Amino acid sequence: MGGERINKRGLRQRAKEYAASPLSLFLLLLVIAGAVVTLSVLIFLIVYILIKGIPYITPDLFALEYNSENVSLFPAMVNTVTMTMLALVIAAPLGIFSAIYLTEYAKRGSRVVELIRLTTETLSGIPSIVYGLFGMLFFVTALRWGYSMLAGALTLSIMILPLIMRTTEEALKAVPDSYREGSFGLGAGKLRTVFRIVLPSAVPGILAGIILATGRIVGETAALMYTAGTVADIPDSVMDSGRTLAVHMYALSNEGLHVGQAYATAVVLLVIVIAINWVSSFLAGRIAKGR
């Protein structure tokens, strides 16, 4: 404790130091200014949209059926949930299984593993419009599915695959080797060790990744416009077109007739995204504490 007090400089002492070295003061101010700009942009954006949008949130906006009078976002919300479920059902098992292969089975430095890493890195850098183009060419045109929820969900599942793989891999790697050794020592096989010991202790990390992926699905527009289409109703089946909240919002602001409702949709999207981020960092925080 004593050492700390000696090292602590008073305000006057600091002011003297900065007076002697204006460059240090300048750098300090620069760094603080950068952080202030970043933070104030975020706060301004959220507050502006909330203030402008909340008055437009009316019961009409959540009517069960969409028509051009009520501009209901309820169907879009249902579609968003469906789309998220579909994409996750496809991508989560694939991503988790790949991560299991990479951490538990693969030999380090093998050719295939390097190829898998390279392609995952490539996938995570591809912009969403390119995914949209591919989805349109492959699912919509080549497989003749037409604009459909399923085509959109499959496109999105490829898009979120690298995210789920990376977060799951990190979660699996964080499980101490002693767990595995203990399980092997008690006579369990590799498979049983993976499913009974390693996976359960990695659950919070995997969940955090899946929730982050949910955030990307909810916010995605470019990859969905030409795969899931832009019909504003709840589709009868997964082979029909339907638009999610983000696509709904783009359509509203593009038409320019319902700016108020666009604000309201932005509020709903923001609230969802903030909730998702909060839950994800809560889970990540639990992992950090558990260690």
Partner 1 sequence: MKKLGEQVMRIVFFAAACASILAVVLICVFLFANGLPAIAEIGVFDFLLGQKWKPSNDIYGILPMILGSIYVTAGAVIVGVPIGILTAIFMAKFCPKGLYRFLKPATELLAGIPSVVYGFFGLVVIVPIIGRFNDGNGSSILAASLLLGIMILPTIIGVSESAIRAVPESYYEGGRALGASHERSVFFATLPAASSGILAAVVLGIGRAIGETMAVIMVAGNHARMPAGILKGIRTLTANIVMEMGYAADLHREALIATGVVLFVFILMINLLFSVLKRRVN
What residues from 189 to 228 belong to the interface with partner 1 (CB under 8 A)?
189-191, 212, 215, 218-222, 225-226
Site map 83..122 versus partner 1, x via CB under 8 A: ----------xxx-xx-xxx-xxx-----x--xx-xxxxx
CA–CA distance, 277 with 273 (Å, rounded to integer): 6
Ranges within 228-287 binding partner 1 (CB under 8 A): 246, 249-250, 253-254, 259, 262-263, 266, 269-270, 273-274, 276-278, 281
Residue closer to partner 1 by CB (options 21, 58) is 21
Cα–Cα separations (whole angstroms), residue 120 to 84, 95, 112, 153, 235? 21, 11, 12, 19, 32
The C-alpha torsion from 96 through 99 and 104 to 107, rounded to 10°, is 150
In this chain, which of 23, 177, 185, 237 binds partner 1, going by CB under 8 A?
23
- Among residues 19, 1, 3, the alpha carbon closest in space to that of 11 is found at 19
Shortest distance (Å) from residue 288 CB to partner 1: 12
Site map 125..144 versus partner 1, x via CB under 8 A: xxxxxxx-xx-xxx---x--
The gap from C-alpha 284 to its chain's centroid, in whole angstroms, comes to: 14
165 is a site residue for partner 1 (CB under 8 A)? yes
Question: In this structure, what DSSP letter does residue 140 have?
Answer: I
Strands annotated E in 39-135: none
Shortest distance (Å) from residue 115 CB to partner 1: 6
How many of the chain's residues bind partner 1 (CB under 8 A)? 88
